[in-house]
Amino acid sequence: MSKPVVLILCTGNSCRSHLAEGFLRSAAGDLLNVQSAGSKPAGYVHPLAIQVMQEVGIDISSHRSKPLTDFLEQNIDTVITVCGNADQACPIFPGQMRRYHWPFEDPAHATGTEVEKLEVFRRVRDEIRRVFEAYGAGCRAVVTP
């Protein structure tokens, strides 16, 4: 039996959705097939997103920025949007049973010094971590007796 697919969407698929994908994969283990995509993909994963995830022991360096159209023919059980633009652009996917909208600030727009940008990335990472680890724990609780 195939694992339920959770698709996490944002606009650029360079930061927020990859942070969320990393945390949900880690929290849910092998229970879910977690993917991410963007409505207007940037074409890269932001280096600071990779760095701040490495700081907490999660490697997203092999992730790639993908368009949501890559998933239009797949059965998607749950769609989670992490920004308003993606929520508005989000189509209905085949098999979709649930949809959640949990918006977060886009750390890619952080300005200032490298240290100031890292502070924003870490803050957003920690916000996303709380939400997606709790969601992953809930998924584990449902299937674990």
Residue positions annotated with a catalytic role: 10, 83, 90
Per the CB < 8 A criterion, the answer to whether 132 and 104 are in contact is no
Per the CB < 8 A criterion, the answer to whether 96 and 76 are in contact is yes
Residue 82: HSE in the Cβ half-sphere, 13 Å Cα cutoff: 30
Torsion over CA: 93, 133, 124, 50 (sign) = negative
